[in-house]
Structure 1
Amino acid sequence: MDTTYHGYEHFWLNPTFWVAISFILFVLLVGRTAWARITSMLDARGARIQADLADASRLRAEAEALRQQAEADRAAALAEAEDMIARARVEAGRVAEAAALEAEQSAKRRERMALDRIAAAEAGAIAEVRNAAAEIAIAATREVLTETMDAKKDAALIDSAVADLPRALRAA
């Protein structure tokens, strides 16, 4: 049996063996260093991703809080708007009632003023008719007296009125 390896008596004397060992050692050393760098980069990237996830979670929580606040603000604004509408309706009703009352009072005042004017015009017309009737009666009396009275009848009427005067004063 031949115990030579490619011309070498022992395998550890073969340069290919030592190149292979050197290569394996080189790969182990470089791999270890590269592995350390790769793992540190992966750890750093994992930490960055974790931080980004934490930020995203925080931002999501903030957005949710803002959404809830916006909904609460919207509900408050809606309630305030409904309250304002209710107050406006009440105020409109009050103003309408006041306007109706004012219109009614104004109509009553105008009616009273019209009735007062009518009454004044009626009173003036009655006074004019009375004055005209009195003037006509005086004129008619004057005419009747001038036609029917003479000096004798006039003297007799005066004497009769003077004689009747004490009795009329006692009665009054």
Structure 2
Amino acid sequence: MAEAGSEMPEVFATTEAQIEVSDGHGGGTHAEPALLGFAPYQWVSIAMAVLLLVAFFGAKVHKTIGGGLDNKIKAIRDNLDEAKQLRAEAEALREEYAAKIAGAEADAEAMLENAKREADGIVAKAKEDTKAMVARRERMAQDKIAAAERQAIAELKATAADASTAAAAALIAANHDAAADRALADEMISNI
């Protein structure tokens, strides 16, 4: 059947390959291959079971997988413990800052009250200083007025003395002559 130059293998038909099995409905069905009475999917299942048994018991994969799972569980527990610790620290920090905020508000109120007291003290001192300054200015004004009065009185006295001296000199000059002046001067000299 095959030509001499062809490289294809020659296929022979056998009676075993052409066996048809009746399915009871009149039609023929194809027979599935089997080895030792097991179908191919059963052989695959058996091979997988053997492979898993060798992997778990021969290579001790179960210990490796168990150890890996144990390590993963330990890491997760450590992370949970760390998260609990961080949460506790965060709660403590929150409470600390809440206390600091309350303390800062109390300090701010105390500072405000202190500032009000200081402002009231400054206003009272300014009022006292203003009263004292007004009193000093009044005294200075009164002293200036008194000094001006004294100066005016002294000037008035000096003017009056000058006027009375001039008037007395004019009266004496009019009523006394040179001879009367000599007699008066001699009398004064003799009294000394």
- Deviations along 1:48-101, one digit per CA (max 9) or x if unpaired, are 001111111111111112222222222222222222211111111111111100
Alignment length, in residue pairs? 138
Measured in 2, the distance between the counterparts of 1:51 and 1:59 equals 12
Asked if 1:107 is matched to 2:128, the reply is no
Q: Does 1:132 align with 2:170?
A: no
2:176 counterpart SS class? helix
Structure 1 residue 6: Cα displacement:
2.9
The equivalent of 1:44 in structure 2 is 78
Return the index of the structure with the highest Cα Rg: 2
CA distance in 1, matches of 2:37, 2:112: 95
> Structure 1 CA distance, aligned partners of 2:174 and 2:109?
95
Aligned equivalents of 1:29, 1:5: Cα separation in 2: 36
26-35 or 81-90, larger mean C-alpha shift: 26-35
The 1:57/1:89 distance shift into structure 2, 3 A limit, reads same
Structure 2's unaligned 5+ residue stretches are: 1-35, 181-192
Q: Could you report, residue by residue, the CA deviation over 1:84-125 in whole angstroms, capped at 9, with x for unpaired residues?
A: 211111111111111100000000000000001111111111
Partners of 1:16 and 1:116 lie apart in 2 by 137
Distance 1:16 1:61 in 2: 60
Q: Structure 1, unaligned stretches of length 5 or more? A: 147-172
> Which AA in structure 1 matches 2:100?
L
Q: Does 1:17 align with 2:17?
A: no
Give the residue type in structure 2 aligned to 1:134: A
Q: Give percent identity, aligned residues only.
A: 20
Deviation at 1:34, TM superposition (A): 2.8
The aligned residue for residue 6 of structure 1 is: 38
Find out whether 1:56 has 2:90 as its counterpart: yes
Calculate the TM-score normalised by the size of structure 1: 0.68
Alpha-carbon distance, 1:17 to partner: 3.3
Q: Per the alignment, in what secondary structure is the counterpart of residue 6 of structure 1?
A: coil
Quote the residue 1:90 is aligned against.
124
Q: RMSD of aligned C-alpha atoms?
A: 2.8
In 2, Cα distance between equivalents of 1:63 and 1:79: 24
**Counterparts of 2:52 and 2:162, CA distance in 1:** 152
Q: CA deviation at 1:47?
A: 0.4
